Amino acid sequence: MPDSAPHPVDRSAALEALGLPRIDTEPPASPLAFPDGGAWRLEIPSVEGPTALDAVLSAAAEWEVPLHRVSQGSGVGMLTDGEITEMVRRCAQEDVELCLFVRPGADWDIGAARDSAAGSVSSRSRGTAQLTAGVAEAERAASLGVRSLLVADEGLLWVLHSMRARRDLPADLQLKVSVMAGPVNPAALAVQERLGADTVNVPSDLTLHQLSELRAAGPVTLDFYVEAPDNVGGFVRHHEIAGIIRAAAPVYVKFGLRNAPGVYPAGEHLGDAVAASSRERVRRARLGLDMLARTPDAPPMSPRGRRAQPDGTRFTPPGFAERGHGPD
């Protein structure tokens, strides 16, 4: 942290002096943590290719932002083999986890349900053709060294976890559920964990009490946008970072960007916008870290370079004994 960061201060006394006592409505703190003992890690999303990754890594060094994971949203199919290989190399060099989205999904397809107010299928895999295309993207990414994949469909999640259990995909591959398929109740979270999720991005409109309810469902790691892109709500909850971590630990704190252009699928025609947005996400992370530093008894962060997750409870793939999964 920068030397200029203010010391944590409890400001509840200022309200009490005006006859405005704080009513203690905080949810119970999560008793869980990552295997390394940390309560939270930091993720920068929408890192769409090598150029965006360079912008993020440069900004992280400039603003002293400790990165644990970067994720991409355009999909494996929007990157060449050379681009994926370069991103894998750079992330390994910087000890940062790389997570690529497995597409296609219904939001890029011809079906009208994607625009239906009452029946949207969001980014889920539409039909067997998209499901098998997702499997092909996962296999390609894994063969190029990627060990973290983002999915937005429970069926694809189950297929990829079953392949991982059979060792058709690497045993240390992590599967992350997108906010586009994020659960909003404890039972739904438990189902995604059992289908193979190692980390789950829950919607950013959940209250701290609702986050605590989801956490009580099991140990699976949560991901949470403390600043959400406009297309998933545009919420800015920097001031609640400490409370979110306490309720949801272990959790990845994600810094999206409000008022930023939608860029999926990204490419050179959007290069300037992607690079500028990438840098600003890191700056937003610096703002959030400074705010957390001013919070009394802030929860501890995982050391950089750690990616191990709590072991999850799984449904048993056909022909296999039930077991937890998570890289060492």
Q: How far is CA 299 from CA 40, 277, 304, in A?
A: 8, 28, 15
- At 143, list the tokens: 């063969």
Q: Which domain holds residue 207?
A: 28-293
Per DSSP, the residues of 183-210 read --SHHHHHHHHHHT-SEEE--TT--HHH
pLDDT, mean over the chain: 91
Q: How many domains does the chain have?
A: 1
Element (H, E) at 217: none
* 315 belongs to a structural domain: no
In one letter, which amino acid is 203? P
Q: Per residue in 173-218, pLDDT tens?
A: 999 999 999 999 999 999 999 999 999 999 999 999 999 999 999 9
Q: How many residues make up the chain in this entry?
A: 328
Looking up residue 164, the CATH number of its domain turns out to be: 3.20.20.70
* 306 belongs to a structural domain: no
Contacts 24+ apart (CB under 8 A), 319-323: 320/165, 320/166, 323/165
Largest CA distance in the chain: 66
pLDDT at position 324, please?
46
* 8 belongs to a structural domain: no
Indicate the SS3 state at residue 283. helix
Rounded to 5 degrees, what are φ and ψ at 174? -100, 145
* 48 belongs to a structural domain: yes
pLDDT at position 118, please?
67
**Residue 123: closest CA among 159, 147, 84, 154:** 154
* 307 belongs to a structural domain: no
Cα separation, 187 vs 217, in Å, equals 7
**Residue 206: closest CA among 243, 151, 175, 152:** 243
Q: Which residues of the chain have pLDDT under 50?
A: 1, 3, 322-328
* 1 belongs to a structural domain: no
Cα separation, 101 vs 87, in Å, equals 14
pLDDT at position 70, please?
98
- At 217, list the tokens: 């469902």
* 310 belongs to a structural domain: no
**Residue 10: closest CA among 237, 294, 242:** 294
pLDDT at position 323, please?
47
* 4 belongs to a structural domain: no
Geometric angle at alpha carbon 14, from 285 and 6, rounded to 5°: 35
**Entry pTM:** 0.90
